[in-house]
Amino acid sequence: MSPTADHNLHVSGTARFIDDIPVRRDTLYAAVLTSQKAHARITALDTAAAGRQPGIVRIFTAGDIPGDKTIGNIFQDEPLLASDEVVYRGEPLTLIVAETMRAARMARKFINVQYDELPAVFDARQAYDQGRLIAPPRTFVLGDVDKAWPQCDIIVQDRVESGHQEHLYLETQGAYAYMNDHLLKVISSTQSPGAVQKMIARILNIPMHLIEVEAPRLGGAFGGKEEQATNWACLCALAAYNLKRPVKLVLNRREDMNYTGKRHAYTSDFKIGLNRDGKILAYEVFMFQNAGAFADLSTSILERSLFHAANSYDIPNVKATAVSCRTHLPPNTAFRGFGGPQAMFVIEAALDKACHAMAMDKLSIQGKNLLQSDSVFPYGMGAKSDGARRCWQSAMDIYQTDSRQKALTTFNRKNRRFKKGLALMPICFGISFTSKFLNQAGALVHVYNDGSVRISTGAVEMGQGVNDKLRAVAARVFSIDEERILLDTTSTARVANASPTAASTGSDLNGMALKTACEIILSALKQFVARCHDIDDPEQIILNNETVQVNGQSIDLSWDKLIQEAYLERVDLSAHAFYATPHLFFDRQTEKGQPFAYHVYGTGVVEVTVDALTGTYTIDRMGIVHDLGKSLHTQADLGQVEGGVAQGLGWMTMEEIIYSDEGKNCTDTLSTYKIPDIQFMPDDLQVEFIEASGRDSGLFHSKAVGEPPFMYGIGVYFALLNAIRAFRPNAETYYSAPLTPEKALFMLTGQNNKQNVSEKKLTLEKKKY
């Protein structure tokens, strides 16, 4: 494996991130003063005393921005620096630039800000009632739920709550900017250098070609650096462009946790109807999304929730409505799964309640309602695959769920204090950006005359292994050793107009562009060999393990020799290629189309043990069957599955963000916000990759793996509920994630907590939408 491979750099401690880059001489340091009010008018903002402090170079306010004062890639509604009004705690007010970071941060306390406080709204339902919407509600419809309800033998309804989640990437938000003659160079910890470049151009009122944005590598992102990295890069660029000196802005952990948005909290109402055989006949859901103060990516995330409202189930009548509600919290943003997990949690809760009411085994109802090859999604696209059923059956067989159920029943009968539970979580996740124009990528390939290869794409390496996959693509096309190949950092100067590395599309889009670029060079090399060796058909020529073969026979021409001779004969050894995912379309008027290139399927099996005395629990084992297609890099894909599962388990169990009545994040340190550690993870975690639906897949018949595994973690919630019911069969169940040990104890003891709303005036009964 190449010594330049990212994982080698990581484990050796030599990988450099923004805060590791040696700074240029005369570098300045920036800090941001943010609002301490959730909603208020700014009546005074006096920076004079701060400006007189030692080491302070300049303090920027909104009036110092020469171009657009607001940022945003969907709706340009977010002020880069607030001027008249603040709408969340942590909203930037001023940018302080100093000779040292300490001086910049210390100067904040000398800035005098006076507010006229205004009423604040933190709850999505309250915001909806007040008409505080990012955009109007949207509804996906399949069949007719109103006609289906009379045919149902049982109908249940309830409310579901899922909370925020902190990204907690290892590397916090940051940027480093400097002038290089007429060019502004910005090194940004971003998933989307192209979007950062565009926003900087707008706020500085200069053309994009005078700005280069580079993302060397990210120390994690999980969606949190797709849109929100723009804020800090723009502020850094504003200072560097005006002061003509290098400027560095890196948030510390507490700043990052207070200033940035999280996974969207959702509150949802559902209604589901089944016949006595357990077939789902109708499903209706209304989802309220807590967007925070500004749009960010909320409307796209909301759309993804609608796409995945029915998860892996074939339901003939569906009505799914969702609305993005504007509150006075930091603008919430992309997070692994991008709205899919919130919707899938609701449908799983609906099935859980229905099965409990019918006294039927949930596994049997899940299994008989899974998608089939002739199923149609509520958005009009056909499944065209039995991947859901293949993964389900494989999981049942591999992990012997029938015998495990019997073993758990025996254990629960013999043990009074400790109870075990088991649950299965099927997933179906569409792969593509749901905004068609984003499904494009470019790649630039150079083959040097010594046979080494250098590649530039729009993909950003952030620990997910995309560089390893891209290196494997080039090595496969050229049939050369991967050690010959170097992946460049991601830069707008080398690949323009690149889409974000997000939506699990990084390998697919950039890999297809790279494959095409390599094939252009390969074709030129084959034609060169054909001319030199009097071969009529260049397609008879192949490269195999760094040697040239004709009709399966090697000729005296190695890769090194081929490249040197081609160079001497003036063969073009560089190529740029472009790829756009074909056959995508979606009509937002009818809410029908084919928004995805393909779907990924899978099933997770999870077992837990609950201590009925304390409410604490352990996750004993987890088995996963994942529809991967033909993996480009098995170890990288395995790491993605295991990491996604860990985040999903955390979201369902322990990762709880608590805001005060004043909108303050009360869980803004690692002592108050907990994530899964190695002791929390199941001792027995098995992952089985299968090709469940190979007809429609991606690069070299591989499938995306970044986001789908997160949803397997949802199964732990229902395994815990089953264990709680083993102790207290009539326990009052409320669907409020995360299911912390405190909440579990409430259920075990029959008590309510504040999430268990006593008066459930369900929106489905009173809203006409």
Distance CA 222, CA 674 (A): 17
Distance CA 149, CA 764 (A): 13
Q: What is the DSSP letter of 339?
A: T
CB 441 within 8 A of CB 494: no
Residues 6+ apart with CB under 8 A from 36: 89, 113
Distance CA 157, CA 160 (A): 10
| Separation of CA 276 from chain center | 38
> Phi and psi of 174, rounded to 5°?
-175, 165
Residues 6+ apart with CB under 8 A from 399: 605, 623, 686
Return the amino acid letter for 232: W
CA triple 190-2-485, angle to 5 deg: 75
Measure the N-to-C terminal CA separation of the chain; round to a whole number of Å: 57
Secondary structure of the chain: what % helix, strand, coil (to 5)? Answer: 35, 25, 40
Active-site residue flag, 707: yes
CB 153 within 8 A of CB 274: yes
Distance CA 698, CA 511 (A): 9
Residues 6+ apart with CB under 8 A from 334: 223, 224, 226, 227, 297, 301, 502
* Of 565, 707, 759, 765, catalytic: 707
Side-chain half-sphere CA neighbours of 743 within 13 A = 20
CB 355 within 8 A of CB 367: no
Which tokens hold the place of 665?
């994040």
Q: Which residues pair with 95 in a beta bridge?
A: 32, 60
Distance CA 333, CA 38 (A): 18
The residue to which tokens 């080698």 are assigned: 8
CB 460 within 8 A of CB 490: yes
Q: Which of 300, 308, 264 is nearest to 283 (CA)?
A: 308
Which tokens hold the place of 324?
């993005």
| Separation of CA 525 from chain center | 40
CB 665 within 8 A of CB 657: yes
Distance CA 395, CA 399 (A): 6
Q: How many residues in total does the chain contain?
A: 769
Residues 6+ apart with CB under 8 A from 575: 444, 445, 517, 518, 520, 521
**Residue 572 CB coordination number (10 Å):** 12
Which residues have a catalytic role annotated?
Answer: 707
